[in-house]
């Protein structure tokens, strides 16, 4: 039997999952590749992987998917790694540059702008930003690259915190899905390995390659800022987000 191909996101917030899959000894018969969120989604859509940790914003473009874990990448307060950085207040911003590594953050900031902030900026790819932000520009950054940047801008909006502020619901950034039902034994072992990894979050930092934050900061991020349980409030938050996406 060919190994079951797993695609996952290569950010700090997935370290417990990767650690659980690779170090718990609970899972066998798999092949694991780490990607940016958009590539993980593409691999599931193109059947290059059987299981993926997929940005919620990409789910509407995937047919017949199955959520295969009660764990996720979520937030029930500021998440500190999905940010809108700017030199001015929201009402002044005319252009927002988007980090296209994740469709979830792109859609989230668009929803916040329309539904809650009541602003109508011009949207551009981050690749179009030349030099520094002007006074009426902002940029969305996600993942590991955000650490250390919040204090460099006079205005920093945590997108998870903004969503929670306006909706009263947690936010889910990514969930584990498959396109086809998995062997029951494998799915149970997969869930057990993920859970083991989350239980060993502190140890999982050994999986970080050349981290640019301290061990203390990384452990705090994994233990205090990321919420891993896909509980009922998070499911409601995810349903509302998907409803906004239409």
Chain-centroid distance, C-alpha 89: 25
Identify the H or E element spanning 96: strand 95-98
The separation between the first and the last C-alpha atoms of the chain, rounded to the nearest angstrom, is: 39
CB 9 within 8 A of CB 40: yes
User: How far apart (Å, rounded) are the C-alpha atoms in residues 162 and 28?
Assistant: 40
Per residue in 107-152, pLDDT (tens digit) is 999 999 999 999 999 999 998 998 889 999 999 999 888 888 888 8
Q: What pLDDT, on a 0 to 100 scale, did the predictor assign at position 203?
A: 97
Residue with tokens 């000894």: 25
Q: How many Å apart are CA 132 and CA 154, to the nearest integer?
A: 14
Ordered structural domains, the chain, with CATH? 4-75+170-245 (3.40.190.10), 82-167 (3.40.190.10)
Residue 129 CB contacts under 8 Å (≥ 6 apart), including other chains:
97, 137, 139
Q: What is the mean pLDDT of each run of 10 residues along the chain (246 residues)?
A: 90 96 96 92 94 94 93 96 94 93 90 97 93 93 85 94 98 95 94 98 93 92 97 98 94
């Amino acid at each position: 039997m060919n190994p079951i191909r797993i695609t996952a996101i290569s950010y700090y917030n997935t370290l417990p999952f990767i650690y659980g899959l690779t170090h718990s000894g609970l899972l066998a018969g798999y092949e694991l590749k780490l990607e940016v969120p958009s590539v993980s989604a593409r691999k599931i859509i193109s059947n290059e992987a059987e299981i993926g940790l997929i940005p919620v914003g990409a789910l509407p473009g995937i047919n017949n998917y199955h959520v295969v874990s009660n764990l996720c990448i979520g937030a029930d307060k500021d998440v500190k790694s999905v940010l809108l950085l700017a030199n001015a207040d929201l009402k002044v911003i005319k252009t927002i540059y988007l980090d296209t590594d994740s469709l979830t953050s792109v859609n989230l900031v668009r929803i916040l702008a329309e539904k809650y902030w009541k602003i109508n900026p011009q949207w551009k790819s981050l690749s179009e930003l030349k030099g520094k932000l002007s006074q009426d520009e902002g940029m969305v950054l996600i993942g590991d690259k955000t650490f250390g940047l919040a204090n460099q801008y006079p205005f920093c909006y945590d997108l998870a915190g903004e969503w929670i502020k306006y909706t009263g619901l947690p936010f889910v950034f990514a969930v584990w899905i498959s396109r086809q039902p998995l062997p029951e034994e494998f799915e149970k072992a997969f869930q057990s390995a993920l859970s083991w990894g989350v239980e060993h979050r502190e140890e999982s930092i050994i999986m970080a390659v050349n981290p640019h934050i301290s061990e203390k900061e990384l452990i705090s991020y994994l233990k205090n800022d990321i919420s891993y349980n896909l509980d009922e409030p998070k499911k409601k938050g995810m349903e509302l987000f998907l409803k906004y996406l239409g």
